[in-house]
Structure 1
Amino acid sequence: MSRMLLHSRRAAMSLVALLLLVAGGWASWGTAQHVMLAKGREHGTITVDGCGEETCSGRFAPDSAAASRPGLTIGKSVAVKKGAKLSVVVKPGTDEVVRRGAGGIFHAWLPLGGALLLAAVIIGGGVGLPRVAWTSAGIGGVVLVGTFVTL
C-alpha cells in the first residue's frame, strides 16, 4: 500500500512539474518565435518617446527602405527608458515590437526560466530526482541571470 502511495505521489508531482514547464514554454513562445525566427520580418530601431504602466511607445526606423512609423509599442521593462534606442523586430500584423539579439532571446524565454526554477523544487522534493532538479534550477538561473546581464 505504501509503495502505491509513493508512486502516486511521484506521478502527481511529475504532472505538476510538467504542467509548470509547459505553461512556461507556452508563455515564452509567443514572443520567442518573433525574436528567434526573425528572418522575413521587419527589423529596425525604436526610439522610446514615453512609457505608460505596461508599455512604452516610440518612433520606429526600419533597417530596410520602408518608411518609418510612429506609435509602435514595446513591453515596458526595467531596461526601457525614455530616449533609448533599441534594436527590434515588428510582430507581424501588429504595432508591437520585441527586442532582438541576445537580450531579446533571454527576455523572451524569461517565463520558461522561472518555470524551470519552480519545477526544480517539485522535481527535487516531490519526485525525488535531485540531479534533474539541480539541472533544471541551473538552466532556469542561467536564463534569469542572462536576462539581467543582457538587458
Structure 2
Amino acid sequence: MSPLLLHARRVALGLVALLLLAAGAWSSWDTARHIMLAKGREHGTITVAGCGEETCTGPFDPDGTAAPRGRMTIDRSVAVEKGAKLSVVVKPGTGEVVRRGTGGVFQAWVPLGGALLLAAVVIGGGIGLPRVAWGAATVGGVLLAGTFFTL
C-alpha cells in the first residue's frame, strides 16, 4: 500500500473515531448537564407509580416550598421498580426528571462510554494505535461498570 493511501486511511478512520466520540458526548451532555449543573434547578423526589416500555411515571415531591406535581416522567432503567423513591432534578420547561447523584451522573454518561468502546476498535484496529485504544476502552468500560454498580 502506498504511503499516501495509508495516511489517507488513518485520517479517515481518525475522523470516524472523532465522530463516534462527538456523538457520544453530545448525546450524554443532553442529560448530564441537568445533573452536573444542577444549581438553580428544581430538585426533589419522584415515587415511581408505574412503568411503560421506555419511561416511568409518578408523583413529584419537590424540595423546598414548591407545590408537588402529580405526574412526572423519568427514563426507565433496569434498576427502577414500582414504589421506588428516586432523588431527581427537573429538566427545565418539561415534565421530565433525571436521576441525580453518582448513579445519575454515571447513567447520563452511558452513551459516551459506549462510544469510547466503539472508537477503541477503530483506533486500535484501523489506525494502529493500540495503547490509545486500550485507554479509550478502559475509560468506556469504567463508565459502563460504574453505571452498573451505582444503580
TM-score (norm 2): 0.98
Aligned to 2:5: 5
Q: For residues 114-142 of structure 1, give each alpha carbon's deviation from its aligned partner in whole angstroms, at most 9, with x where no partner exists.
A: 00000000001111111110100000000
RMSD across aligned positions (CA): 0.7
3-state secondary structure, aligned to 1:95: coil
Q: CA deviation at 1:3?
A: 0.6
3-state secondary structure, aligned to 1:78: coil
3-state secondary structure, aligned to 1:59: strand
Write the distance in 2 (CA, Å) between the matches of 1:26 and 1:65: 34
Q: Residue type matched to 2:86 in 1?
A: L
Percent identity among equivalent residues?
Answer: 74
Whether 1:40 aligns to 2:51 is no
Q: CA deviation at 1:89?
A: 0.1
Write the distance in 1 (CA, Å) between the matches of 2:142 and 2:63: 31
TM-score (norm 1): 0.98
Write the distance in 1 (CA, Å) between the matches of 2:140 and 2:99: 20
Q: Residue type matched to 1:88 in 2?
A: V
Q: Residue type matched to 1:138 in 2?
A: T
Aligned to 1:115: 115
Query: Which residues in structure 2 correspond to 1:57-72 (within 5 Å)?
Result: 57-72=57-72
Give 4+ residue runs of structure 1 displaced > 3 Å after superposition: none
Write the distance in 2 (CA, Å) between the matches of 1:81 and 1:2: 58
3-state secondary structure, aligned to 1:64: coil
Q: Which runs of 5+ in 2 are unaligned?
A: none
Whether 1:18 aligns to 2:18 is yes
Aligned to 2:127: 127
Q: For residues 14-47 of structure 1, give each alpha carbon's deviation from its aligned partner in whole angstroms, at most 9, with x where no partner exists.
A: 0000000000011101100001000000000000
Q: Which runs of 5+ in 1 are unaligned?
A: none
Aligned residue-pair number? 151
3-state secondary structure, aligned to 1:53: coil
Aligned to 1:55: 55
Q: CA deviation at 1:63?
A: 1.0
Q: For residues 48-100 of structure 1, give each alpha carbon's deviation from its aligned partner in whole angstroms, at most 9, with x where no partner exists.
A: 00011110000111111111111100001101110000000000000000000
Q: Residue type matched to 1:32 in 2?
A: A
